[in-house]
């Protein structure tokens, strides 16, 4: 059977492979090469070695600032989203009436795109700040917490659904047994429920981590980096380097490679985490 199928490899794989080559393979290889070149278009590249990388990390490029902002935003939103989502998942697994409606409402923001969401929240936050005669772009703190708020609003429902699925898989006998042994609800939570949903926790931690770290649309719409690029995240910084002024395309590409390496490192940590969990179970 395998042999007959093998003869059909053109029909089965060619459309995907061609599209994949255009959208990913060729641009990726070109991108790695161009990060070592000076260029304004793909065809006028001249080799400059590591110059772009040096420039990327030098001051005035805002890359390190963006990295700092991105890192602190990521930490704060990972913690807040997961705490809130887990708490609500616990509340929604108590057989309270209306649970389905709550789930539906809480999950909904996750479907709305980042640009539309970003401007919706910009209008909301500016409406509140209007009373204090200021706007979200006046102070980097507003931008930071606005982004955290937006991210929570968007992702809590999504993470909640994953936690609910995990909590529903905890065997009721275990919880009953803990009760009979005299465990308080708090002890049951810490000693029984949380260890049993560790795999959900890992999934949610890394989903929120990579979504926050790679954030672009929401950042662009909410503050666009203002004031003074202080609320600029990595993805937006790279975008601005490419398209903000000519002559810096190579630096933008070098930054993109660094960004890519960080994202891959996060993914590898996640992989080892998940693997080690699988061994334990």
Partner 1 sequence: MVSAKSKASNKVIFVFLVVFAFAILYPLLFILNNSFKGKFYISKDPFSLPTGETFAGITNYVNGLVKTGLLNAIGWSFFITIVSVVFLVLFTSMTAYYVTRVKSAYSTGLYYMFVFSMVVPFQMVMFTMTSLADRFHLRNPLGMCILYLGFDAGLSVFMFAGFVKSIPLEIEEAAMIDGCTPLQTFFGVVFPILKPTAITVAILDAMHVWNDFLLPYLVIGISTKYKTIPVVVQMLVGSNGNKDMGALMAMLVLSIIPIIIFYLTCQKYIIEGVVAGAVKG
Residue list 169-228, contact with partner 1 (CB under 8 A): 203, 207, 214, 216-217, 220-221
Tell me which residue has tokens 């080799």.
47
Q: Which is nearer to partner 1, 38 or 103 (CB)?
A: 103
Q: Which residues, including other chains, have CB under 8 Å from residue 222's CB and lie 6 or more apart? A: 118, 119, 121, 122, 136, 143, 146, 147, 150
* Residue 27 lies near partner 1 (rule: CB under 8 A): yes
**Residue 86 makes contact with partner 1 by CB under 8 A:** no
Residue 257 beta carbon to partner 1: minimum distance, rounded to whole angstroms: 7
Q: Which of 58, 75, 79, 104 binds partner 1 (CB under 8 A)?
A: 104
Q: Does 235 bind partner 1 (CB under 8 A)?
A: yes
Contact 61, 251 (CB under 8 A): yes
Judged by CB under 8 A, does residue 120 bind partner 1?
Answer: yes
Q: Please pick, from the candidates 54, 68, 83, 123, the single residue that binds partner 1 as defined by CB under 8 A.
A: 123
Contact region for partner 1 (CB under 8 A) — 52-60, 65-73, 87-95, 139-147?
A: 87-95
Least separation in angstroms between CB 194 and partner 1: 19
The candidate with the shortest Cα–Cα distance to 251, out of 240, 261, 236, 262, is: 240
Minimum Å gap between C-beta 135 and partner 1 is 10
For residue 42, give the H/E element and its range.
none
- The reply on whether position 94 binds partner 1 by CB under 8 A is yes
What is the chain's alpha carbon radius of gyration, rounded to the nearest angstrom? 23
Measured between its terminal Cα atoms, the distance across the chain in Å is 37
Q: How far is the CB of 72 from partner 1 (least distance, A)?
A: 19
Query: Which residues inside 241-280 make contact with partner 1, applying CB under 8 A?
Result: 242, 249, 252-253, 255-257, 259-260, 263-264, 267
SS (H, E, C) 194-263: HHHCHHHHHHHHHHHHHHHHCCCHHHHHHCCCCCCCCCCCHHHHHHHHHHCCCCCHHHHHHHHHHHHHHH
Among 48, 65, 80, 126, binds partner 1 (CB under 8 A): 126
Torsion of CA 134, 138, 143, 145, to 10 degrees: -50
Angle at 247 between CA 233 and CA 58, to 5 degrees: 50
In the bound state with partner 1, the residue whose beta carbon lies nearer, of 51 and 217, is 217
Interface segment toward partner 1; rule CB under 8 A; list 71-79, 105-113, 172-180, 186-194: 105-113
């Amino acid at each position: 059977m395998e042999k007959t199928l093998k003869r059909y490899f053109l029909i089965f794989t060619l459309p995907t492979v061609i599209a994949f080559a255009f959208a990913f393979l060729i641009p990726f290889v070109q991108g790695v090469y161009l990060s070592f070149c000076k260029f304004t278009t793909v065809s006028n590249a001249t080799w400059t070695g590591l110059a772009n990388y040096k420039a990327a990390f030098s001051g005035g490029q805002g890359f390190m600032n963006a990295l700092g902002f991105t890192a602190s935003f990521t930490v704060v939103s990972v913690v807040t989203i997961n705490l809130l989502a887990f708490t609500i998942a616990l509340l929604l697994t108590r057989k309270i009436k209306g649970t389905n409606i709550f789930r539906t409402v809480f999950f909904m923001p996750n479907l709305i795109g980042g640009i539309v969401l970003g401007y919706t929240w910009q209008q909301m936050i500016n409406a509140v700040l209007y009373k204090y005669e200021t706007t979200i772009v006046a102070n980097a703190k507003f931008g930071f917490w606005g982004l955290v708020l937006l991210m929570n609003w968007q992702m809590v429902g999504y993470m909640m659904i994953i936690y609910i699925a995990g909590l529903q898989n905890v065997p009721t006998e275990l919880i009953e047994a803990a009760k009979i042994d005299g465990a308080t609800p708090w002890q049951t939570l810490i000693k029984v429920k949380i260890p049993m949903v560790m795999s959900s926790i890992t999934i949610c931690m890394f989903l929120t981590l990579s979504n926050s770290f790679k954030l672009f649309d929401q950042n662009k719409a909410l503050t666009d980096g203002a004031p003074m690029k202080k609320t600029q995240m990595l993805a937006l910084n790279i975008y601005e380097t490419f398209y903000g002024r000519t002559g810096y395309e190579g630096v933008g590409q070098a930054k993109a490679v660094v960004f890519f390496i960080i994202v891959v490192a996060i993914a590898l940590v996640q992989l080892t985490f998940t693997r080690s969990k699988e061994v334990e179970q």
